[in-house]
Amino acid sequence: MSDAKNLRIDGERLWNSLMEMAKIGATEKGGCCRLALTDLDREGRDLFVRWCEEAGCSIKVDKMGNIFARRPGKDESLPPVMTGSHLDTQPTGGRFDGVFGVLSGLEVVRTMNDLGIETKHPLEVAVWTNEEGSRFAPAMVSSGVFAGVFDLDYGLSRADADGKTMGEELARIGYAGPEEVGGRPLHAFFETHIEQGPILEAEEKTIGVVTDAQGQRWYELEITGVESHAGPTPMQRRKDALLGASRIVDLVNKTGMDNQPSACATVGMMNVFPNSRNVIPGRVWMTIDIRHPNDAVLAGMDKAIREGIERITSEIGLTYELEQIFYYAPVPFEESCVDAVRKGAEACEYSMRDMVSGAGHDACYISKVAPTSMIFVPCIDGISHNEVEDAKPEWITAGANVLLHAMLEKAGAAS
């Protein structure tokens, strides 16, 4: 197309769609709470499906509840160019994490409809189930099943804190679809997302061209000591599980600091038992999350944490069980897709920089079965997974404009 550089999405329409979706599960502080496979998640899914059908898309849902809205291409035998993300949120989540990646894809479809653009390859917009992992662990489980990382039985059997499984909850909300999960070719996959960090805003860059994603390891750790009365039990005779846990928190933090500039290491959850003010804690359950873009460094961090836990618990006289529940290696995104993002930013004359994603995204798993890249836009103060998460409308518009160009580059304008 001779005037392809002038192609732009309708930024106001995209913003209005984001704000309409944000009403579902809206929180007092301006964020969203749509936990995976709750009634609110169903409402968000229903709204997305309605919008896609109004845009002329056909809808398919697979057995993990992943939704695929398809805009036909000139040659339906060709594999689709797909984009998408997720609609589920953190318990105190924001209005943009995940949903921007879904609705920017819908806006690309709407814009192509408006302009009468026909593509050679079909286009698809995906909603991946339970990306966040906050209700059902691990994160990104449904895109993982699609990519063959997990099997279907594993995905459907993931349970929440009340013992409800993903399979049961998919059936309850009406999104246990009939389609097989994965096993079909994709021509390319793109995911737009807020950065969830401060770099783009601080450097006054509009677009992050994501070249790689950090590797991650998640652990669950249970430490066992002896419950005892807080008064009569001498300090030197205690087996305090919370003391051990506290030292392990410091160990995890030190491991992250020792592997700068790229490492992150976090204890995000902790449950203390019996959680009584005058009882020495006899048991602590906690999580550990470590990340690095170099797999060898990530393995070294794993070794340091395992050795440190062994040393700390031995010194206090505690026992422990450590399970790694989630791992994926660092992800290099596919060169031609990364280049399509760069070309899109250049065509729209946006400032940009290459970036490594510090967070996990569905794109990381999809990269195992399709050429993939990501498009980042800034978020205010780099804050995400928080009700105050925010982004400027012009940033959101820019990300969707780059997505439009990248998808058209890969899908090809039909002659």
Question: Read out DSSP for 214-252?
Answer: -EEEEEEEEEE---EETTTS-GGG---HHHHHHHHHHHH
What percentage of the chain reaches a pLDDT higher than 70?
A: 99
**Averaged pLDDT, 212-216:** 91
Q: How far is CA 122 from CA 66, 86, 394, in A?
A: 18, 21, 28
Q: What one-character-per-residue DSSP string does 73-127 give? A: -S-TTSPPEEEEE-----TTB-SSTTHHHHHHHHHHHHHHHHHT--BSS-EEEEE
**Averaged pLDDT, 43-64:** 98
Residues near 348 by beta carbon (within 8 Å), at least 6 away in sequence: 5, 8, 398, 401, 402, 405
Is pLDDT above 80 for 348? yes
Quote the pLDDT of residue 306: 98
Closest CA to 404 of 55, 57, 105, 1: 105
What 3-state DSSP class applies to 124? strand
Asked whether 301 and 290 are in contact (CB, 8 A), the reply is yes
Do β-strands 215-224 and 283-292 pair in parallel, antiparallel, or remain unpaired?
antiparallel
- Alpha carbons 82 and 90: distance in angstroms, whole number: 24
For 264-323, the pLDDT digits (tens) are 999 999 999 999 999 999 999 999 999 999 999 999 999 999 999 999 999 999 999 999
Q: Which amino acid is at 234?
A: P
- Alpha carbons 372 and 190: distance in angstroms, whole number: 6
DSSP state of 259: T
- Alpha carbons 387 and 389: distance in angstroms, whole number: 5
Question: Would you call 254 exposed, middle or buried from its count of C-beta atoms within 10 A (0-12, 13-18, 19+)?
Answer: middle
- Alpha carbons 242 and 281: distance in angstroms, whole number: 6
**Averaged pLDDT, 354-361:** 89
pLDDT tier at 238, thresholds 50, 70, 90: very high
What 3-state DSSP class applies to 49? helix
For 89-147, the pLDDT digits (tens) are 999 999 999 999 999 999 999 999 999 999 999 999 999 999 999 999 989 999 999 99
Quote the pLDDT of residue 328: 82
- Alpha carbons 100 and 85: distance in angstroms, whole number: 8
H/E segment holding residue 290: strand 283-292
For 13-48, the pLDDT digits (tens) are 999 999 999 999 999 999 999 999 999 999 999 999
- Alpha carbons 308 and 46: distance in angstroms, whole number: 48
Is pLDDT above 60 for 1? no
CB atoms within 10 A of CB 356: 17
pLDDT tier at 414, thresholds 50, 70, 90: confident
Q: Which residue is listed with tokens 């800034």?
A: 378
Q: Which residue is listed with tokens 């189930």?
A: 129
71-89 as b/e: b if 16+ CB within 10 A: bebeeeebebbbbbbbbbb
DSSP state of 380: G
- Alpha carbons 373 and 209: distance in angstroms, whole number: 8
Name the phi and psi angles at 67, rounded to 5.
Answer: -105, 135
Is pLDDT above 60 for 2? no
Quote the pLDDT of residue 252: 98
- Alpha carbons 101 and 405: distance in angstroms, whole number: 15
Quote the pLDDT of residue 3: 62
Asked whether 48 and 105 are in contact (CB, 8 A), the reply is no
State the chain's mean pLDDT as an integer.
96
Find the Cα–Cα–Cα–Cα dihedral 330, 334, 337, 342, rounded to 10°. Answer: 70
Q: How many residues does the chain have?
A: 415
Quote the pLDDT of residue 225: 98
Q: Which residue is listed with tokens 């769609």?
A: 17
Q: What is this structure's pTM?
A: 0.85
**Averaged pLDDT, 159-182:** 98
Two tokens, residue 177: 């679809």
What percentage of the chain reaches a pLDDT higher than 90?
A: 94
| Domains located in the chain, CATH noted | 4-214+330-411 (3.40.630.10), 216-327 (3.30.70.360)
Asked whether 124 and 82 are in contact (CB, 8 A), the reply is yes
